[in-house]
């Protein structure tokens, strides 16, 4: 029997956080080995564990997987979170790419110089409320189902909830104009595996702050 997946990354969210979310949603227990110093990263490189010399890296099923998208696709496919057919997979991919774009903007905000933060913060709110969230609101309203794709829980739902919660950290009432997304957030947050991951003490990571950024390897 294969052991638990082992995640190699910093103690922050970064590109590993969506992987933590998806494993947790699938009910998969995992271990973490934190890359806390440049020496830790160099050791992984010297061991040949990092195909492209960078993390995230996940030890899973006898593979040392790198590249966030590849890791997420593998987990989604393995745990039946990737649709029933090619068409559903394509929809999931499109929705995931959209939320990835939004989360990328939010993720990099703390690392930007102060003079750019205010402008980029405003851009995040504008994009979330005019480009991204209206799409998911319309999808849910048009098909009237509980989940984004195929009326079954998928990677797209996990990713959207993660994006919603990140956006609410920026602006707590950001979902005010989106009743479908408000209901969606409530439904997905109450799926037992997700509910557990959202509890204090889970392996979910907090937003980056000044202290964390000072410790980045």
Lowest mean pLDDT among 111-120, 138-147, 198-207: 111-120
Split at pLDDT 50, 70, 90, the class of 208 is confident
pLDDT at residue 1, rounded to an integer: 46
Q: What's this model's pTM, rounded to 2 decimal places?
A: 0.93
- The pLDDT-based confidence of 2 (bands split at 50, 70, 90) is low
Instruction: Classify 59 in phi/psi space as left (phi over 0), alpha (psi -120 to 50) or beta.
Output: beta
**What is the structure's pLDDT at 211?**
54
Tell me the C-alpha distance between 103 and 18, whole Å: 10
**Backbone φ and ψ of 214, nearest 5°:** -70, -25
**ω before 56 within 30° of 0 (cis)?**
yes
Would you place residue 210 in the very low, low, confident or very high pLDDT band (cuts 50, 70, 90)?
A: low
Q: Does 79 have pLDDT greater than 90?
A: yes
Are 99 and 22 in contact by the 8 Å Cβ rule? The answer is: no
HEC profile for 148-206?
CCCCCCCHHHHHHHHHHHHHHHHCCCCCCCCHHHHHHHHHHHCCHHHHHHCCCCCCCCC
**What's the chain's average pLDDT?**
93
In angstroms, the CA 53 to CA 42 distance is 9
């Amino acid at each position: 029997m294969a052991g638990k997946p082992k995640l190699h990354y910093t103690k922050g969210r970064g590109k590993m956080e969506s992987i933590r979310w998806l494993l947790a949603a699938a009910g998969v227990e995992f271990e973490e080995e934190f890359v806390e110093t440049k020496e830790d990263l160099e050791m992984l490189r010297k061991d040949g564990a990092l195909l492209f010399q960078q993390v995230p890296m996940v030890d899973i099923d006898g593979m040392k997987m790198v590249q966030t998208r590849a890791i997420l696709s593998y987990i989604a496919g393995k745990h039946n979170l990737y649709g029933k057919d090619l068409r559903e997979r394509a929809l999931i991919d499109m929705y995931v790419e959209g939320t990835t774009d939004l989360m990328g903007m939010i993720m990099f905000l703390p690392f930007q110089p102060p003079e750019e933060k205010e402008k980029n913060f405003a851009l995040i709110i504008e994009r979330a409320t005019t480009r991204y969230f209206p799409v998911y609101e319309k999808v849910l309203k048009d098909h009237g189902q509980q989940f984004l794709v195929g009326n079954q829980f998928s990677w797209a739902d996990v990713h959207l909830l993660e994006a919603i919660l990140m956006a609410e950290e920026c602006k707590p009432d950001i979902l005010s104009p989106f009743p479908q997304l408000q209901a969606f957030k409530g439904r997905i947050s109450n799926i037992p595996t997700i509910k557990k991951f959202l509890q204090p003490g889970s392996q979910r990571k907090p937003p980056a702050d000044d202290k964390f950024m000072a410790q980045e390897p």
